[in-house]
Amino acid sequence: MPILKSVMNRRREVFSVGISDDLQSTIADMVDGRRGILAADESSGTIAKRFDSVGVESTEEHRRFYRSLLLDTEGLGQYVSGVILFEETLGQKNGQGRPLPQVAAEQGIVPGIKVDKGKGPLAGAPGDLITFGLDGLEERLQGYREQGARFAKWREVYPISPRNPTRLGLTANAEMLARYAAVCQCCGVVPIVEPEVLIDGDHSIERSAEVNEMVWHEVFHALHEHGVILELMILKPSMITPGKECAKAPPKQVAEYTMRSLRRSVPAAVPSINFLSGGQGPEEATANLNALNQMWQAPWQLSFSYGRALQEPALKAWEGDSGNAEKAQAALLKRARLNHLAMLGEYRESQEEES
């Protein structure tokens, strides 16, 4: 059978060149049952919007200072095992002249890199999107490894509407994620697979569950066809919530729907599920993660890979003023600690008021 032969050859390729030790070492360093991932990989356009919200111009120096501030936070490695960086950040240094990937690694935080090149309309599937960036990926990954990156992230986006995602949208996006993940593993880079089902809209939590299950089934079918080794990847999915134009669901309901759909769709071989926040506020994202970890025992680590839900308090505390650096770092460290407690199922709302 041609497909089976191709899969077996791909798996032999990963192991035959001695790459598996690198992949397994990275997984061991990132998946420990108590820490999550800081997503600091905002594109130039996205970080400009974040900075604009606090009155800061998005210059290269401001971006360098802010991301250096995050990674220089003393004690962050207690609660964060990995950081996803934007390509610009991978080559930047902190105020003492140390490369930012090195700053992260010195705290026990594994540096990673966002490798997709943004999204656009998917031809033939009105309303669906597709992500670009496969061309030259292998060569780019080799360069990123030399700069210290040990894992990568690729995001595909799925809008929900009465017509979307279409069948073509499901298969095309899953194919992109699988091809990316296969290239990563052949290069000794752990892939984070991110199929984000968008929260935009007025859809019900039941519709969200239906779409997420379809997406995850399609993604893991494609990963299998491309010979991706599930034990050597991380999944970064959405939590199952109603659309943002609807009333918010309580954490217990979010956890019940999310866990049920995961059990139906995600193989137990995957070592860690690091949820994206996807438009949730900091406290909401923490409470929902806590509810998930208070349910029956899951076969995967249930962790976080939050961007705004971790950074928002720090960004508001900083406001572009270097004199606020320690205040901003304290805000980030508190948010990271609370999400660490949520991984243990030990978060309480009263802890939000503690310093």
Q: What is the pLDDT of residue 354?
A: 83
Nearest to 211 by CA among 249, 182, 242: 242
- Residues with active-site annotation: 194, 236
Token representation of residue 8: 């077996």
Summarize pLDDT for 98-121 with one digit per residue, the tens.
999 999 999 999 999 999 999 999
Distance of CA 28 to CAs 38, 110, 140, 223, Å?
17, 11, 24, 21
Percent composition of the chain: helix, strand, coil (DSSP 3-state, to 5): 50, 15, 35
- What backbone torsions phi and psi does residue 242 show, to the nearest 5 degrees? -65, 165
Q: Where in 210-349 does DSSP place strands (E)?
A: 234-235, 272-275, 301-306
Q: What is the mean pLDDT of residues 32-56?
A: 95
Q: How confident is the model at residue 156 (pLDDT cuts 50, 70, 90)?
A: very high
Q: Which domains does the chain have, with CATH numbers?
A: 1-18+121-276 (3.20.20.70), 31-114+280-355 (3.20.20.70)
Global pTM value? 0.94
Q: What is the mean pLDDT of residues 136-155?
A: 97
Question: In whole angstroms, what is the distance from residue 25 CA to residue 250 CA?
Answer: 37
Q: Which amino acid is at 322?
A: S
Q: Is the dihedral of CA 236, 240, 242, 247 positive or negative?
A: negative
Question: In whole angstroms, what is the distance from residue 313 CA to residue 316 CA?
Answer: 5
Mean pLDDT of the chain: 94
Give strand pairing partners of 83: 38, 111
